[in-house]
Each structure stands twice: as structure tokens, then as C-alpha cells.
Amino acid sequence: MLMKYQQILEEIHKEVVPLLGDGKVADYIPELAKVDPGKFGIYLLFLNEEAYYIGDAHEKFSIQSISKVFMLALTVAHLGEKVYERVNVEPSGDPFNSLVQLEYECGIPRNPFINSGALVITDLMISHLNNPKEELLSFIRELVGQEDICYNETIAASEKACGFKNAAMVNLMKSFGNIKNDVEEVLDLYFDFCSIEMNCNELARAFRVFANHGKGVIDAKRYITESQFKRMTAIMQTCGFYDEAGEFAFRVGLPGKSGVGGGIAAILPGEYSIVVWSPGLNPKGNSLAGMKALELFTTKTGTSIF
């Protein structure tokens, strides 16, 4: 039987509308506090170019921690397994900005998708790329296939103005010798990375490369190796949703990454990428309606990695 994906997205939209007022936007970042919590969009993109969407799927938002997937992909493409000498690959089980765990484990972050891990990745990028700020943006633009993907300087400045815990993490890791570059340079670049703005359509196109085992769909260009894809996908599955990764695996069953801007990008390898955006967050920092929408999608379509 032919799956009616557009009808399924419309059903999901109706079912999650009551949740749109229940989540809380990330108001600890002043610029994100201004976002309308009633926004909601989904974009579903298959490897064969079929696409379905609903709601605010073409409105740009701050991707925040979803950028950590692109940061890791670009870094492992350059450095390979050496990346994992500086950052581990275990779920944290603690909040994404925990200092206690970082000190207990001698400045080695649990994984690349918590803040401390992404700060180490940022440090690696500074050490090994000629112009990491421009190279990451070029990398994402190439994955999407368009040039109007940009940083939001206002959001980056807003994050820097209140990024005290991130500053504490960098300095703590510096004291353990796991940050090699200037602390302020690492922080500035990290906040830039988090400020990237994309919409559901653009994120789905970028993540389709990961759904296609690390290579382009149209030109078959390989961005990461099969081995690197396998490891990155495993980290997305086990560490991509802060300390709620187990719940996401249990309810949704797809590898992916969330961000406190309300976005969630996920993939079914070999099949599709799907992105949902709803700015209202649950207490763990994941999109409340977004998680429910993806749970409904994999339930209604019978698709997951399990």
C-alpha cells in the first residue's frame, strides 16, 4: 500500500497543536526568548527526492546544537579517529552543560554533542583548519546546495553575553590541557557555530547526506567515510538528545540531533531525513512538540532503525 505521507504529516500537526503552548523557549539566551512558541514545521525528504512538509518548514531558526553534527563531520573528515583521543563517545546522563562530570573525568568530555565536547571540537578546528569559521559555513552550504546559510551575529553576541558556564568549561578543560588554543577564541567561534540559521527544508537537505551514508545524493561525492558515518550515527543515536537520548530512542527510534532553538534533525539511513521545528522545550532542553511529532511519525509509518 502506498504510504500517504502528506496526510500523515497533517494528522501529526493536528495532534501536536495542543502541546505548542506547553513548552518553554530557551529564554536563558535573550535573543531566543523572542521566538514565537507557537511555531511548528516538519520537512520530510527521501533519498529519491520525494519531499513532504507542513507548517513553518521554510522559516529560518537558530539551529544551536544541531550544528555540532556538522562540526564533528568536518573535523573527522580532516582528522579521522584522532578526534576521539580528545573527546569520548559515551552518553553523559547529565545536563549538557555539566561541570561536575567534566571535572570528575579530568577535562575529557563524555561525547562531542554536549557543550564541553563541542568546545573541544571547536579547539581542534582552530588547530587544524585554516579558517574554521568560513570552512564550516562552506561545508554546510555545500551539503544544502545553496549559499544563503549564515551566522546570526546578534544571537552569537547574545549567547556570549550570558555564556558563563561555557566559559567555565573551557577554562576547566584548559587547566587539564584539553584546550590548546586561546580560550576567548574558542568561545567566540563556538557561539558563532551555534548561531547558524537554517529552516527545516535546508536542514533536511544537509542531513540527507548522513542518511545516504556520508555521501551526496546527486553527485555521490563522499564527505565522510563509511566507517566515520557508522560512528557518527551511533553517537547521534546515543548522545544526540542531551540526557534524554534513551527516551528518544525508545519513543522515536531514529539517530539525530536536537538544539535548544527547538529544532530536531533525524535520519533513517538509506531512506530519509526528517526535520521538525517547534521552539517550546521540555525540561531536558528538547522540543516538546517536536519529540511527540517524531514519535507519531515513526509509529504511523512503521519506520525506525529498530
On whether 116 is known to bind a ligand per the annotation, the reply is: no
Give dist(CA 281, CA 279) in Å, integer. 6
**How far apart are the C-alpha atoms of 258 and 264, rounded to whole Å?**
4
For the chain, the distance separating the N- and C-terminal CA atoms, rounded to the nearest angstrom, is 21
Which residues 6+ apart lie within 8 Å of 218 measured at CB?
none
- 104 assigned to a ligand binding site: no
| SS3 category, 257 | strand
CB 63 within 8 A of CB 259: yes
Q: What are phi and psi of 295, to 5 degrees?
A: -60, -45
Q: Is 184 annotated as a binding residue?
A: no
Q: 271-287 burial, b if ≥16 CB within 10 A, otherwise e? A: ebbbbbbbbbbbebbbb
Say how far apart CA 262 and CA 282 lie, in whole Å.
10
CA 9 from centroid of its chain's CA atoms: 22
Q: Is 17 annotated as a binding residue?
A: no
Pull the grid cell for residue 146.
545553496
166 is in an annotated binding site: yes
Residue 88 in marked binding region: no
Phi-psi region at 299: left, alpha or beta (left = phi > 0; alpha = psi -120 to 50)? alpha
CA 266 – CA 290 distance, rounded (Å)? 11
Determine if residue 260 is labeled as part of a ligand binding site: yes
Rounded Cα–Cα distance for residues 258 and 229 (Å): 18
Task: Give binding residues for substrate as ranges.
Answer: 65, 115, 159, 166, 190, 242, 260
Task: Give binding residues as ranges.
Answer: 65, 115, 159, 166, 190, 242, 260
